[in-house]
């Protein structure tokens, strides 16, 4: 059984729905598509030569090297979701070195984690796999939870440990979003000055984004605008959750919208919803990597494959997947990572 046949088998009855779809609202011809010359997206920009070198290191490592796609292992859940809850299923990952080993053995382009995790083994591994140091985090000890991203690391600290890039989160729509936007814009400016690449976790967060039992945090219009702001503050790569619905501006009576906008840009197909996100990343000139989501056990392979296919066929640049890989035995985690990478390497799976 070849790779494409295996992927079809994993998708089951949904294979044709995801693999045969054609996006007609935002045309393929309008996109800057991922490929071996991805760094050329920045050739005419103000990114310095050291920044281009850092981006090249990210895109030219691991099993996807030279493809224009990214497979990144992010494990910062020890802070974001609490260490005990994140690592009780596989206690090996309380040990930071095992996080880095999973990224290496799993063929990832890079590993993203906290300052503490990466700093503890930076001399041993920073030259073996690109480090992405996450400089801000939420914390879960404030009661009630405040859902604020605060700085845990300076940009200089990340640079001193040999990081290739910094990562940061902004909770767009939250009470503290204005401060976070300004804070991270300045951090990205400093990172570029030092020659590092920048990756933004573009998350939406506001209790008012839930209405009548519908959660609009993953709406294409809302997350798409978050992406556009992220590109504005010069994120080189955008991380975003996969969209699951649309029409948040209309239903919440927020933002700017009209029915013509929705009709012109999308449908309810998951690939078209994701294409909306890609369009807001300067039509693909800023790479969009989607989240792999939570681990659900037996469905992880199918869910990971589905996420990768949606992202790739929408014109995205890869998947950043953690919990589906580290909340299980090492062998099984590597299998999930490699399956995702196989999808990006499979020539029969094309941009829709």
User: Tell me: the pLDDT tens digits for 223-271?
Assistant: 999 999 999 999 999 999 999 999 999 999 989 999 999 999 999 999 9
Assess if residue 26 is contained within a domain.
yes
DSSP-based three-state secondary structure for 38: helix
Assess if residue 325 is contained within a domain.
yes
DSSP-based three-state secondary structure for 277: helix
Assess if residue 265 is contained within a domain.
yes
pLDDT digits (tens, 9 = 90+) for 262-320: 999 999 999 999 999 999 999 999 999 999 998 998 899 999 999 999 999 999 999 99
Q: What is the dihedral of CA 57, 63, 350, 352, to 10 degrees?
A: -50
Q: What are phi and psi of 342, to 5 degrees?
A: -60, -35
Beta strands 136-137 and 150-151 are antiparallel
Assess if residue 352 is contained within a domain.
no
Nearest Cα residue to 272 out of 281, 282, 262:
262
Above 90 in pLDDT, residue 146?
no
Assess if residue 121 is contained within a domain.
yes
* Whole-structure pTM value: 0.97
Assess if residue 331 is contained within a domain.
yes
Q: Which two tokens stand for residue 125?
A: 């591994």
Q: How many distinct structural domains can be found in the chain?
A: 1
Residues annotated catalytic, as ranges: 239
Assess if residue 109 is contained within a domain.
yes
Instruction: List the CATH number of the domain containing 125.
Output: 3.20.20.70
Q: Which two tokens stand for residue 293?
A: 């989501």
Helix 220-232 and helix 270-279, axial crossing angle in degrees, nearest 10: 20
Per the CB < 8 A criterion, the answer to whether 92 and 330 are in contact is: yes
Which residues form the domain of 131? 3-345
Assess if residue 350 is contained within a domain.
no
Position 139 scores a pLDDT of 85
Position 79 scores a pLDDT of 85
Give the residue-averaged pLDDT of 330-344.
97
Q: What are phi and psi of 169, to 5 degrees?
A: -115, 140
Reported confidence tier of residue 178, pLDDT bands at 50, 70, 90: very high
Q: Considering just the CA atoms, what is the radius of gyration of the chain in Å?
A: 19
Task: Report d(CA 288, CA 276) in Å as an integer.
Answer: 11
């Amino acid at each position: 059984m070849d790779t494409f046949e295996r992927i079809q088998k994993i998708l089951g009855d949904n294979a044709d729905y995801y693999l045969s779809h054609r996006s007609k609202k935002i045309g393929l011809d309008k996109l800057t598509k991922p490929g071996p010359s991805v760094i050329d997206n920045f050739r005419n920009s103000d990114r310095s030569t050291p920044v281009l070198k850092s981006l090249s290191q990210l895109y030219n490592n691991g099993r996807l090297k030279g493809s224009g796609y990214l497979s990144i292992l992010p494990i910062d859940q020890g802070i974001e979701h609490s260490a005990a809850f994140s690592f009780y299923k596989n206690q090996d990952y309380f040990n930071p070195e095992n996080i880095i080993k999973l990224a290496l053995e799993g063929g990832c382009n890079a590993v993203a984690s906290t300052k503490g995790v990466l700093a503890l083994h930076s001399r041993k591994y920073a030259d073996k796999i690109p480090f992405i140091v996450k400089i801000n985090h939420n914390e879960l000890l404030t009661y009630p939870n405040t859902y604020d991203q605060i700085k845990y690391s300076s940009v200089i600290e990340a640079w001193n440990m040999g990081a290739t890039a910094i990562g940061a989160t902004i909770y767009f729509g939250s009470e503290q979003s204005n401060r976070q936007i300004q804070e991270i814009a300045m951090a990205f400016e400093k990172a570029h000055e030092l020659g590092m690449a920048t990756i933004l976790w573009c998350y939406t967060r506001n209790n008012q984004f839930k209405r009548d039992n519908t959660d609009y945090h993953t709406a294409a219009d809302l997350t798409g605008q978050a992406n556009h702001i992220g590109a504005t503050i010069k994120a080189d790569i955008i991380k975003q959750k996969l969209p699951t619905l649309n029409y948040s501006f209309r239903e919440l009576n927020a933002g700017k919208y009209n029915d013509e906008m929705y009709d012109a840009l999308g449908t309810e197909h998951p690939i078209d919803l994701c294409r909306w996100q890609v369009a807001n990343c300067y039509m693909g000139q800023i790479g969009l990597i989607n989240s792999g989501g939570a681990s659900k056990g037996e469905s992880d392979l199918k869910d990971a494959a589905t996420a990768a296919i949606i992202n790739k066929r929408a014109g995205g640049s890869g998947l950043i997947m953690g919990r589906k890989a580290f909340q299980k035995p090492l062998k099984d985690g590597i299998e999930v990572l490699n399956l995702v990478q196989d999808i990006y390497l499979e020539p029969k799976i094309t941009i829709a």
